Amino acid sequence: MIIKLDFITKEAMMVLRPIRDAGVLVALVGTLVALAAPAAVVAQVDEAALVAAPAAEWLTYGRDYAETHYSPLNQITAANVARLGVAWSWDIPKRGARLEATPIVHDGVIYATGPFSFVFALDARTGEEIWHWDPGIPSGSEGGPSFCCGAVNRGVAMHGDKVFVGLLDGRLVALNRHTGAIEWSVQTTPMGLDYSITGAPRVVKGNVIIGNGGAEYGVRGYVTAYDAETGDQAWRFHLVPGNPADGFENDAMRMAAETWTGEWWVVGGGGTAWDGFAYDPVLDLLYIGTGNGSPWSRDERSPGGGDNLFLSSIVAVRGETGEYVWHYQTTPGDDWDYTAVQPIMLLDLTIQGRQRAVLVQAPKNGFFYVLDRITGEFISAQGYADALTWATGVDQETGRPIEVPEARYGQTGQGVYISPGPTGAHNWRPMSWNPTTGLVYLPAQNTNSYYERATVNYQRGQWNTGTGRGGANRPARPEIPGPRTMLLGWDPITNTEVWRAESTGGNGGTMSTAGNLVFRGSGAQLIAHDARTGQELWSADVGNGTGTPVTYEIEGRQYVTILSGSNPPKVWTFALP
């Protein structure tokens, strides 16, 4: 494995030479940035801030490149959080979808998104509106784009004086962060096809990274990098192979095609990257979580079987070039919509006495994965859901799931209830990390669903899953064990549950802080838990349907902000008296 450190100076290499374990490199990122040549620091000033994010700000979706959703702020603590009160709120003028955005905060301003890709900027101290931008995207009934699961958007990215947002209609737009004026706009998806964008962009190596969704409608997933200053395309990496008659874009696609059969490209293949990304700036590796097959049923899209790369996988590519490096597939030959696009997190852990640079993820399929992020080596996987019936575990030698035979409904010809269902044991809601407790905070759920094979008659603009509902012959739904939703305090070293807090409503995302707190959305509430024990310490009613909280500091005062509610949707901000 070659580790590219192009930006590191001679002085920095002197620091690196004594290091034998590549996992330790990540701990040196702050040092490397400080030692880098001045020109490199100037060129990457925003990205250097993402490596060692200023404590007072929240500069990207996961707060930093590692996507930890952890803040070192500690003014609000387990001892005083009960005194938290509303500092201000702001009504989002756009309605029509639930709120899934994680705000970003920079230089005293909050930037976030609402339904239908609506973007706004607020004074982070007072909640006063600075600007908003409505792209005017119509609903599906009014001729707007097709999209799977609501006209949602998970947020924006920032680089220099620009704010970037992906739109439901497939555009990537750069806005002036001071005025909201359009700086540039590019159509990232083919016009007339059923692609959409709901995820937050990321900025890597001066490029804006964006994926897309639409696998249910029959599309071929890919990730694209665009120059942050101009909008020019820098690179594109397809996530499943296309028609072999057209040739393959690279060796990775040629390799992936060997794991498919039939004419999979007719219905796209799927694999769309609609959410999870993380980036290691020392390794220059961008980690991409990929989506489900199109159609869902493997026997419809790939009738001869096969793993169908890179569906339901984590794929590592070079951040600068998009060149393939390695992959790990969480669900080979996905048959159940078990995407691996769920949030990805980069941690440095000591496992069995060895310092490891790892990647962790809790994808839909119900297993919590720990991988070596340098090589993609499988380290461990354990079930985190109570309802988990499609597989009995993950083989420690091969890293492959130990499937239950009846789960392959296309092969057996028999419909079956499987846990989890297509909404997964964990979906888009961000988990978070606390380096003091050593725990990951995972918003999990127990679900099941009925799967039965159905012939696909591909139609544009409609779902093409290759599954049926069973009609009158469908058996009674089995009881789901455990709570429907819950927050888990999870130890990634032992890969075990430490504590759980059961919920009464749907999950939102989570955030952890140095104040020994983990905040999360649940139902209509923003809740603060003791990060060590899971004990609920405080809650506030913020309206049903919560996004993901963030925290920041202005003039010595710490604030906590979350988007929530629907009538009207609001930005809620809390602080101590």
**What one-character DSSP code corresponds to residue 431?**
P
Whole-number Å distance between alpha carbons of 523 and 544: 5
Residue/partner pairs of 240-245 with CB below 8 Å, 24 or more apart: 240/264, 240/268, 240/269, 240/270, 240/271, 240/308, 240/309, 240/310, 240/311, 241/265, 241/269, 242/269
d(CA 280, CA 258): 29
Determine the residue type at 491: D
Selected catalytic residue, list 169, 337, 372, 530: 337
**In whole angstroms, what is the distance from residue 338 CA to residue 447 CA?**
12
Nearest to 168 by CA among 81, 100, 121, 230: 100
Tell me the torsion sign for CA atoms 506, 345, 322, 238: negative
Cα distance between residue 132 and residue 118, in whole Å? 8
Sequence-ordered list of residues with C-beta below 8 angstroms from that of 343, at least 6 positions apart, any chain? 62, 67, 275, 276, 289, 361, 428, 429, 430, 431
Is 342 in contact with 351 (CB distance < 8 Å)? no
Alpha helices in 414-502 (DSSP H): none
Helix H or strand E segment including 174:
strand 171-176
In angstroms, the Cα distances linking 553 to 216, 328, 517 are 42, 38, 16
Looking only at Cα atoms, what is the longest distance across the chain?
72
Distances in Å between the Cα of 140 and the Cα atoms of 99, 169, 199 are 18, 11, 19
Instruction: Judge whether 46 counts as a catalytic residue.
Output: no
* Paired residues of 476 in beta bridges: none
HSE (side-chain half, CA atoms, 13 Å) at 387: 27
The rounded distance, in Å, linking the Cα atoms of 235 and 570 is: 37
Question: 511: which strand partners?
Answer: 519
Contacts of 184 (CB under 8 A, 6+ apart): 173, 174, 230, 231
CB 424 within 8 A of CB 459: no
Question: From CA 165, how far away is CA 188, in angstroms rounded?
Answer: 12
Tell me which residues are annotated as active site: 337
